Amino acid sequence: MLGYLGGVNATRIAKGDANPRAVGATPAMAQWFAAKSAAGAALVFFRMGDFYELFHEDAEAASEALGIALTHRGEHQGQPIPMCGVPVHSHEAYLARLIRRGFRVAICEQTETPEQAKARKATTLNREIVRTVTPGTATEEALLDAARPAWLLAPVEGGAAWLDVTTGLFHTQASAEPAALIARLSPAEILAEEALGIEGATPSSAPRDSAVRLAAALGVGSLEGFGQFSPPEVAAACMAVEYVRAVNNGALPRLSPPVAEGARGVLLLDAATRRSLDILEAPRGASLLAAVDRTLTGAGARELAARLASPLDDLPAIRARHETVAALVEDKPRRGKLRAALKGAPDMARALARISLERFFPRDLGAIREGLQRAGLLADALTGAESALLAGAVAPLEASPNTAAELTRALAAELPARLDDGGVVAPGYDGELDALRRLRDDARGAIAAMQMDLAQAWGVAALKIRHHQQLGYLAEVPSAAGEKLLREAPARAVGELSPIHRQSMANAHRFTCAALAALDRRLAEAGEHAAKRERLIIAHLRRVILADAEPIAATAREMAALDVLSASAELATEGAWCRPALTERPDFAIEAGRHPVVEAALRRARGPQFVPNDCDLSPGRRLCLLTGPNMAGKSTWLRQNALMVILAQAGMFLPAASARIGLVDRLFSRVGAADDLAGGRSTFMVEMTETAAILNQAGPRSLVVLDEVGRGTATWDGLAIATAVLEALHDRIRCRTLFATHFHELTALSEKLPEMRLAAMQVREWRGEVVFQHSVAPGAAEKSWGVHVAKLAGVPAPVLKRAASVLASLEARAAAGADPLAAEMPLFAKAPTAPQHPVLQALAALNLDTLSPREAQDALYNLKTLAEGREAL
């Protein structure tokens, strides 16, 4: 089966194992070798008392990754054994660091007590790998990002499945494109057959009898009740579930029934489009998500990210969201109540996952209790709501009244950190537990009383009864008094009270007596019984919660949705955000739109404000060709209009005065390769592959945004390609298109392409300086402003002057129909000063329109070096 997993009994292996590395090992070390061979590439956290120890190569790798000391312990085959360790009580933080560094960790626990081992005359405790921790299957809070889902993605040939064990969400998709899914989901871990060649994926393969296994795992006879799944979807889903089960040593967390996602109903965004739009992630945190996120809970943040990563293409569903946001914008008191109930609400979905895996803490039980209480408050806040989504939320929010009531009665007001700490269950919930606790407390009281009795009987006023981990309760007396007691006990210290010496220390002696020992036993027993009873009650509460798992998960989803909707309303009230009108026609008309991320950045900088711009791609004017100098705001305008589609179809309001958008089925956005720093492949190849994808997939309902595509190419190739692409988009595909270019020659196409409109970023000249207006106006940019931008970047006057005259000649030549960059370069032969001077050669080689300010500055240094007669860099 899944041989790379550690879910195997290490001792069982140890018996038949003929591992040459293990020859001559001590019993404990032999166990380690067995565990290591079961764990494979995973590090083994080998439980020894209060520590997880790592040995040999694991110790070396972990000590380096964690920056902890590497020591040695004993010898194996004549060599000292490298070792390092982490305390059990704080191991989660170390685990989190190792997982983030790309390690997998197999947890090898002691599975019996020292007493049990002694009873079977074993020299070492039994140990077993109880689970393997991997990035896509961990449930510990320390290993999770509260605001992000932890998807485990399993693509196979012809389909894919993805699930989040931390919330139980489970999806499949037929004919899924792995790259697009990876871009959409940013999975924590990917499982894939090696044949698929997915980088970083955990190698895996789908079992043969997938349908039967999957149905069994989900506790049903057949999958039909959940909907229609293609064989690849079933294979992928089964592969994911089997993996989760294997890393958990056979246990499965609660999973919701898988939802088959059709390709219809969602706005399609490919990987390149997501990269260019910075939807969820962006350098310096400047993502769309970060700019629009006003959610108050981790679950809400995850839901918002999911909506932005996968906007809808389903008019009624989108309208329902807009209607709800509008209602919450209007109704400030209701919005306030909802947000008050959400603020600080616990993450029920993740607590539920930990509870289902029996890997939970008292606070997880508390999270369900408080979550359900909050859900009640939310339901109250929704009374009388008319919007369908709000009215429909009430029932799921109130679906678990009995569980809510029972947890409220059962759990103590203040919960301890760990289950073994005791005090999880509230007094008054269980009579037997209360009685056992009284016994324990009585015994404690009796011990306090005994301290006085012993002090009197032994004649030692300073006598103190203290508790010791190994020895239990002992009476401690100062040295001198202790010596006296050892020589001769007072007359009253007889029988039950006669001192029995247990320990001598530097300045004290410890004694017990028959009475104290009996009390100690009684107390230990009462404590043990109470703890045992409490464990039983906790197991009962766990069952109560799990019996209601589906409604509780649904409540959690409803709370996340309410968080997103009320946060969207909150955002909409912060500035001028409008409710978009969505239509089934190919409309696109935005009035005074803004780029939410750039606007927020400008506001933070407290400099000039963002300049709003219209955009109209209505029928008859579907294609807009935008020109303008570098830094004028072309990319910003293009992207802000693409983001309008994402926001609108995710169900949010738009940063604009008004907006009418015809539903978009696919959104494509491409940025010219010179802007794409990713590198690696030939930039031209990347650009052409990505452009080809648009020409093959876009249709009349699509929106295509092309930002200076072709600029990475030699000028005339680029121009030719750009022309052909524009014509195809205009004549054949007939989609809405925004096309920014530095090829002014393209503006001439507007005569040939009736639905193409020209737009230009407005730039003014003021006292010889360029002033960017950041506003879009009809028409083509008058001239190339590359030289002006070079000035802005600090290129000195004489160089600029010469560049301007070269430019004029080039333009004249182009106007006369000749290729201005033809081989003979007569322009430079005619240059008045030093012909063929290296400065001029370098200058002629510059393509001013594609220079970034930074590149312009580099070019300048280069020119200066050349001018000084030194070798250029």
Q: Is 422 left (phi over 0), alpha (psi -120 to 50) or beta?
A: left
CA 793-798-803 angle, to 5 degrees, is 70
Distance CA 156, CA 173 (A): 10
Q: Counting contacts by CB under 6 A, is residue 493 touching ligand ADP?
A: no
Strand partners, 776: 761
Distance CA 537, CA 406 (A): 12
Q: Which of 636, 641, 683, 850 binds ligand ADP (CB under 6 A)?
A: 636
Pick 612 or 628: Cβ nearer Mg ion: 628
Q: Which stretch binds ligand ADP (CB under 6 A): 338-346, 509-517, 632-640, 752-760?
A: 632-640
Q: Which of 172, 635, 669, 737 binds Mg ion (CB under 5 A)?
A: 635
Given a contact cutoff of 8 angstroms between Cβ atoms, the answer to whether 825 and 831 are in contact is: no
User: Which position's Cβ is nearest ligand ADP?
Assistant: 633
Pick 427 or 575: Cβ nearer ligand ADP: 575
Pick 481 or 792: Cβ nearer Mg ion: 792
Distance CA 836, CA 55 (A): 70
Nearest-approach distance from CB 146 to ligand ADP, in angstroms: 31
Pick 70 or 771: Cβ nearer ligand ADP: 771
Q: Counting contacts by CB under 6 A, is residue 322 touching ligand ADP?
A: no
- Residue 233 DSSP class: H
Q: Counting contacts by CB under 5 A, is residue 356 touching Mg ion?
A: no
Partner that binds at residue 204, options Mg ion, ligand ADP, none, CB closer than 5 to 8 Å by kind:
none
Q: Counting contacts by CB under 5 A, is residue 636 touching Mg ion?
A: no
Instruction: Give, as ranges, the residues between 539 and 598 that touch ligand ADP (CB under 6 A).
Output: 598
Strand partners, 757: 624
The Cα-based distances of 292 to 276, 308, 575, 805 in angstroms read: 18, 10, 12, 47
Q: Which of 774, 788, 791, 802 binds ligand ADP (CB under 6 A)?
A: 774
Q: Which stretch binds Mg ion (CB under 5 A): 12-20, 400-408, 629-637, 773-781?
A: 629-637
Spatial CA neighbour of 686 closest among 701, 696, 695, 676: 676
Q: Counting contacts by CB under 5 A, is residue 723 touching Mg ion?
A: no
The Cα-based distances of 220 to 113, 227, 228, 256 in angstroms read: 38, 13, 15, 12
Residue 105 three-state SS: strand
Strand order in the sheet with 105-110: 71-76, 79-87, 51-55, 43-48, 105-110, 127-133
Spatial CA neighbour of 736 closest among 696, 760, 702, 709: 702
Nearest-approach distance from CB 94 to ligand ADP, in angstroms: 42
Given a contact cutoff of 8 angstroms between Cβ atoms, the answer to whether 198 and 190 are in contact is: yes
Distance CA 220, CA 227 (A): 13
Partner that binds at residue 636, options ligand ADP, Mg ion, none, CB closer than 5 to 8 Å by kind:
ligand ADP
**Residue 586 CB coordination number (10 Å):** 20
Nearest-approach distance from CB 690 to ligand ADP, in angstroms: 18
Interacting residues of 555 by C-beta distance below 8 A, sequence separation 6+: 348, 371, 372, 375, 396, 397, 399, 400
Distance CA 597, CA 308 (A): 14
Pick 172 or 630: Cβ nearer ligand ADP: 630
Instruction: Give, as ranges, the residues between 597 and 626 that touch ligand ADP (CB under 6 A).
Output: 598, 602, 610-611, 613
Given a contact cutoff of 8 angstroms between Cβ atoms, the answer to whether 627 and 742 are in contact is: yes
Partner that binds at residue 568, options Mg ion, ligand ADP, none, CB closer than 5 to 8 Å by kind:
none
Nearest-approach distance from CB 708 to Mg ion, in angstroms: 6
Amino acid at 381: A
Nearest-approach distance from CB 631 to ligand ADP, in angstroms: 5
Pick 590 or 632: Cβ nearer ligand ADP: 632
The single residue listed with the structure tokens 């989609």 is: 735
Nearest-approach distance from CB 634 to Mg ion, in angstroms: 5
Q: Which of 551, 633, 651, 672 binds ligand ADP (CB under 6 A)?
A: 633
Nearest-approach distance from CB 633 to ligand ADP, in angstroms: 3
* 3-class secondary structure per residue, 115-151: HHHHHCCCCCCCEEEEEEECCCCCCCHHHCCCCCCCC
Q: Counting contacts by CB under 6 A, is residue 738 touching ligand ADP?
A: no
Partner that binds at residue 631, options ligand ADP, Mg ion, none, CB closer than 5 to 8 Å by kind:
ligand ADP
User: Which position's Cβ is nearest Mg ion?
Assistant: 635
Pick 360 or 610: Cβ nearer ligand ADP: 610
Q: Which of 30, 631, 760, 851 binds ligand ADP (CB under 6 A)?
A: 631
The Cα-based distances of 859 to 790, 799, 828, 862 in angstroms read: 10, 11, 19, 5
Nearest-approach distance from CB 870 to Mg ion, in angstroms: 33
Q: Which of 63, 132, 635, 713 binds ligand ADP (CB under 6 A)?
A: 635
Partner that binds at residue 338, options Mg ion, ligand ADP, none, CB closer than 5 to 8 Å by kind:
none
Q: Which of 630, 691, 762, 784 binds ligand ADP (CB under 6 A)?
A: 630
Nearest-approach distance from CB 777 to ligand ADP, in angstroms: 13
Pick 273 or 630: Cβ nearer ligand ADP: 630
Nearest-approach distance from CB 634 to ligand ADP, in angstroms: 3
Q: Which stretch binds ligand ADP (CB under 6 A): 27-35, 59-67, 582-590, 631-639?
A: 631-639
Distance CA 318, CA 308 (A): 13
Spatial CA neighbour of 84 closest among 96, 99, 102, 66: 66
Q: Counting contacts by CB under 6 A, is residue 706 touching ligand ADP?
A: no
Pick 172 or 741: Cβ nearer Mg ion: 741
Spatial CA neighbour of 168 closest among 561, 551, 565, 564: 551
Pick 415 or 705: Cβ nearer Mg ion: 705
Pick 6 or 672: Cβ nearer Mg ion: 672
639-675 burial code (b ≥16 CB/10 A, e <16): bbbbbbbbbbbbbbbbbbebbbbbbbbbbbbbbbbbe
Distance CA 833, CA 630 (A): 30
Nearest-approach distance from CB 774 to ligand ADP, in angstroms: 3
Q: Which stretch binds Mg ion (CB under 5 A): 320-328, 571-579, 588-596, 628-636?
A: 628-636
Nearest-approach distance from CB 630 to ligand ADP, in angstroms: 4
Q: Counting contacts by CB under 6 A, is residue 634 touching ligand ADP?
A: yes
Q: Is 631 left (phi over 0), alpha (psi -120 to 50) or beta?
A: left
Nearest-approach distance from CB 595 to Mg ion, in angstroms: 12
Distance CA 862, CA 854 (A): 13
Pick 91 or 711: Cβ nearer Mg ion: 711
The Cα-based distances of 314 to 264, 311, 583, 665 in angstroms read: 8, 9, 11, 9
Pick 7 or 593: Cβ nearer ligand ADP: 593
Q: Counting contacts by CB under 6 A, is residue 669 touching ligand ADP?
A: no
Nearest-approach distance from CB 686 to ligand ADP, in angstroms: 19
Nearest-approach distance from CB 788 to ligand ADP, in angstroms: 13
How many residues appear in the chain? Answer: 873
Partner that binds at residue 598, options ligand ADP, Mg ion, none, CB closer than 5 to 8 Å by kind:
ligand ADP
Nearest-approach distance from CB 555 to ligand ADP, in angstroms: 43
What number of chain residues touch ligand ADP (CB under 6 A)? Answer: 14
**Residue 351 CB coordination number (10 Å):** 27
Rg (CA), the chain: 36
Give contact residues for ligand ADP (rule: CB under 6 A).
598, 602, 610-611, 613, 628, 630-636, 774
Give contact residues for Mg ion (rule: CB under 5 A).
634-635
